[in-house]
Structure 1
Amino acid sequence: MSKENYTKYVILGLLTTHCRSGYSMKKMIDTSLNYFWKVSYGQIYPTLKVLVDEGLAEMSDVVDDGNKREKKEYSITEKGQEELRDWLQRPIVSIPVEKNELLLKLFFSRNVEKDCSIEQLNSYLHLQKERLAVYQTIEKMIQSYSTGLEDERYWLITLDYGKRTTNAVIEWCEETIRMLSKN
């Protein structure tokens, strides 16, 4: 069974927000989606071209008032809306496998000193605490600049997932460090 390319749905979804250009999509990906879904800048424009070719999006040339240059703006078509809704309504049939370098290293850690594993865990714990702080900042930003858009509710839901899983990882790191620290 071939792997489905979800980039198409990422771009269609972004077209339902304020994102109209590849650049604005990249900014939105970097500041929100990147915490749970990776899309490279190099995927955006080829995917937009495919969406236009398939009639799922439309492209128009617009003059940018700031620098008087023409830029391409995209919008989702009704066919694109239907495609996105169809995908959103499909059930999730499997849990994706997470690639986690720390877990991979811990799995084989009998080959190094225990202190090395504890150091790895402390480093990971620090990164997780930094991530949690970023999530909390994003949450405050969404709440303070709230425009009442229905999207905001769902953005906060996905952010809550990130906060909860990060808190669980922090707790796991702390407990694992305590466990390994015992003789």
Structure 2
Amino acid sequence: MTKHNHTTYAILGLLTIGCHSGYAIKQMIDQSLNHFWKVSYGQIYPTLKKLVADGLATVQESSQEGTPDKKDYFITAKGKTALLEWLQSPVGDVPVEKNDVLLKVFFSRHQPHDKTIAHLKTYRQKLQERYQTYEAIAEMITSSLHNEEDAPYWLFTLNYGRRMTAAAIDWCSDTVREINDWEE
């Protein structure tokens, strides 16, 4: 059996919720998955082509006047089986986060404390903006998409993001406070 990466399964999953074109897949990724899974246009179309070649999806082309032909992709029974097998496979290692703020803090003894505090305050502000975005998404799901079968699962992943973001905000505040305590 062909080995597939996680992006393959992300796209297979998106095919199950009505995202059938490369454009629709990219829109959904930008609006939801992008908060925890990054996928570029450069990955979407080759992955869709591979899904079709591997029999995990089919493609239906329809001509459009004045624009390129439209391609709609649909998950096959084999694709649903592959997605289910992946969903049920054991969880791998905990992913390692790449975070330039943490990297800067790690080496911050080499700069004045006020510079480190400025980085932390900027980061906290960005985290607070992200948290507000998550709140808005939660409100949109609960008010407009609550009838979707996937809505509870969307909220579970969103809740993870909210909790991680709240913890990071708290960490920023605590770290700034500790650095300020050194100055006294």
- Using the alignment, how far apart are the partners of 1:170 and 1:126 within structure 2? 8
Question: Following superposition of structure 1 onto structure 2, how do residues 3-18 of structure 1 map, counting pairs within 5 Å?
Answer: 5-18=5-18
Superposed displacement of residue 61, structure 1: 1.3
User: Is 1:89 matched with 2:88?
Assistant: yes
Q: Secondary structure at the match of 2:114?
A: helix
- Using the alignment, how far apart are the partners of 2:99 and 2:176 within structure 1? 17
Question: Following superposition of structure 1 onto structure 2, how do residues 34-183 of structure 1 map, counting pairs within 5 Å?
Answer: 34-63=34-63, 70-182=69-181, 183=183
Q: Which amino acid aligns with 1:12?
A: L
- Using the alignment, how far apart are the partners of 2:146 and 2:173 within structure 1? 38
Superposed displacement of residue 5, structure 1: 2.1
Superposed displacement of residue 90, structure 1: 0.6
- For structure 1, the residue ranges without an aligned partner over 5 or more in a row are none
Superposed displacement of residue 62, structure 1: 2.9
> CA-to-partner distance for each residue in 1:27-62, whole Å, 9 max, x for gaps?
000000000001011110100000000000000013
- Using the alignment, how far apart are the partners of 2:5 and 2:76 within structure 1? 20
Q: What is the root-mean-square deviation in Å for CA atoms of aligned residues?
A: 1.7
The count of aligned residue pairs is: 180
> TM-score, normalised on structure 2?
0.93
In the alignment, which residue of structure 1 is the partner of 2:22?
22
Q: Which amino acid aligns with 1:178?
A: R
Superposed displacement of residue 149, structure 1: 1.8
Superposed displacement of residue 20, structure 1: 0.5
Tell me the percent identity: 51
Superposed displacement of residue 150, structure 1: 1.6
- Using the alignment, how far apart are the partners of 2:49 and 2:67 within structure 1? 24
- Using the alignment, how far apart are the partners of 1:57 and 1:88 within structure 2? 17
Q: Secondary structure at the match of 1:72?
A: strand
- Using the alignment, how far apart are the partners of 1:41 and 1:9 within structure 2? 16
- Using the alignment, how far apart are the partners of 2:13 and 2:38 within structure 1? 14
Q: Which amino acid aligns with 2:30?
A: D
Superposed displacement of residue 68, structure 1: 8.2
Q: Secondary structure at the match of 1:96?
A: coil
- Using the alignment, how far apart are the partners of 1:121 and 1:4 within structure 2? 38
